[in-house]
Chains A and B, each alone.
Chain A
Amino acid sequence: MDLDFLLIQKMRMGDDTAIDAFVEKYYPKILQYCRLHIRDYGYAEDLTQETFVKFFRSLSDYRQYGKVANYLYVIAGNVCKDFYKKVQEIPIEENSEGASDHREQINTRIAIETAINSLPTELKETAILFFLQEVKLKEIACILGIGLSLVKYRIKKARELLQAALSEEEKK
């Protein structure tokens, strides 16, 4: 029995501290996931909030078959897709954190985000989950509803393309 199971049972009983702990635990991962789809930080925060709100609306009907994080990724993915449908073009703010970040950090962030966004859509989704969210191969297959061999192929392909894109970025 994992800790999330107990956390979910407590949340169902209306335990406020369990809800706090749950959101605190998964907020950074979901924010990062949304941010890699919607590069605007403000929008990504809105979509992260929407993901959690949708999760808690369906909490009483939720049946835990796999990891709860995977379920959150599925919701976040749908929220991002809905957002894409509403807004076709989003203004990109590449450095919305302000001037306090170090130059190297900013460069790395821009390089990674640019490289990820340069990937084809199906590779991008797999790459975000594997490289940046550290989700296991089997779980990615489950989230995306594809076979394990296809996930492995996409990761291999994404790795090659990311490597090429990052090398290109370094040369500049």
Chain B
Amino acid sequence: MKSIDRKVSQYINDSKESVNRDRVRDTILASKNAFSLHENEQTINYFEFLYQQSQYIQKQWWFFQGGLLIFLWLVLEYSDSSLYVQRCMGLTAPLFGLLILPETWKNRKYASMEIEGAALYTLRQIYSARILLFALVDLLFLSVFWFTAAKTGILSGSSFIVNFFLPFIVTCCIIFRSMCSRLINSEYLTLLICMCWESIWMMIIYNERFYQAVNQVVWIGLLILAILYLLYCIYRSQKYCDKIWEVNSEWN
């Protein structure tokens, strides 16, 4: 047996010495050409990039969001659809927003920004694509819900905006603001803040005198403010993503 092992190890050593340096250089050059040629052919457009990013998102959360809206529609359909029931609908709005929390926080929780920083695309591109995907899917869900509820006459447009859309947007503001904050390092803290917001919202809708006192115009004004603040949070998370998530900015 020793004869085989000795001869094999001698053979391996001899083979290492007999590499032609010119051919190695040729191979390196050919490899670089093949890579750059393929990369030029493989340039993907923005929709393909979005599709690619959607592959990395767990779809179960969208499934739960859809399930929540169906549950809400059933409650409205089979209850007396009174204004009080419509008002209570707002309690599920923060939960609807919270269902995207695990996916938005996933990368920060597992500290995968270092890997994404070394990826082909910048952190900004990756996060903008994911935020856009969440926004598009939620917009689709809420549009279908609103259209169906309005069609069956169980929910008015203004009631939907005030009682569901406004608390949902505020929840999104909390999620995105905490995600682009250096002080908040845990998704559980974000969850706690959202719960606090849910409690505040509950107090508002259960306080009949206060709720009735607030004019429709004030609600719309608050909604516009919340949307503007949400846009600011998203802009901030995009602009300062490198600093917030402590990824070497040279990589991007």
Q: Which residues of A contact B (CB under 8 A)?
A: 6, 9-14, 16, 19-20, 23-24, 27-28, 31-32, 35, 45, 48-49, 52-60, 97, 101, 105, 108-109, 111-112, 131-132, 134, 159, 162-163, 166-167, 170
Stretch at the interface among B13-21, B148-156, B171-179, B235-243: B13-21
B144, chain A: closest CB distance, angstroms: 35
A146, chain B: closest CB distance, angstroms: 22
Are B36 and A24 in contact, CB atoms less than 8 angstroms apart? no
Tell me the count of chain B residues lying within 8 A, CB to CB, of chain A: 33
B28 near A: Cβ within 8 Å?
Answer: yes
B192 near A: Cβ within 8 Å?
Answer: no
Are A56 and B38 in contact, CB atoms less than 8 angstroms apart? yes
Are B34 and A53 in contact, CB atoms less than 8 angstroms apart? yes
Chain B positions 1-25 with a Cβ under 8 Å from a chain A Cβ:
1, 3-4, 7-8, 10-12, 14-16, 18-20, 23-24
Chain A contact residues: over half helix, strand or loop, or mixed?
Answer: helix
Are A105 and B14 in contact, CB atoms less than 8 angstroms apart? yes
Q: A60-B42, A105-B10 are in contact. Are A11 and B3 (CB under 8 A)?
A: no
Other-chain contact of A27, B14, B27, B120 (Cβ < 8 Å):
B27
A selection of 17 A-B contacts at a CB cut-off of 8 Å is A23-B24, A23-B31, A24-B24, A27-B24, A32-B15, A49-B26, A49-B30, A52-B31, A53-B30, A53-B34, A57-B35, A60-B39, A112-B11, A131-B4, A131-B8, A163-B3, A163-B4
Are B7 and A111 in contact, CB atoms less than 8 angstroms apart? yes
Are B28 and A20 in contact, CB atoms less than 8 angstroms apart? yes
Are A166 and B14 in contact, CB atoms less than 8 angstroms apart? no
Cβ–Cβ < 8 Å partners of B28 in chain A:
19-20, 23-24
Other-chain contact of B118, A9, A28, A132 (Cβ < 8 Å):
A9
Cβ–Cβ < 8 Å partners of A32 in chain B:
12, 15
Other-chain contact of B8, A10, A54, A101, A112 (Cβ < 8 Å):
A112
B32 near A: Cβ within 8 Å?
Answer: yes
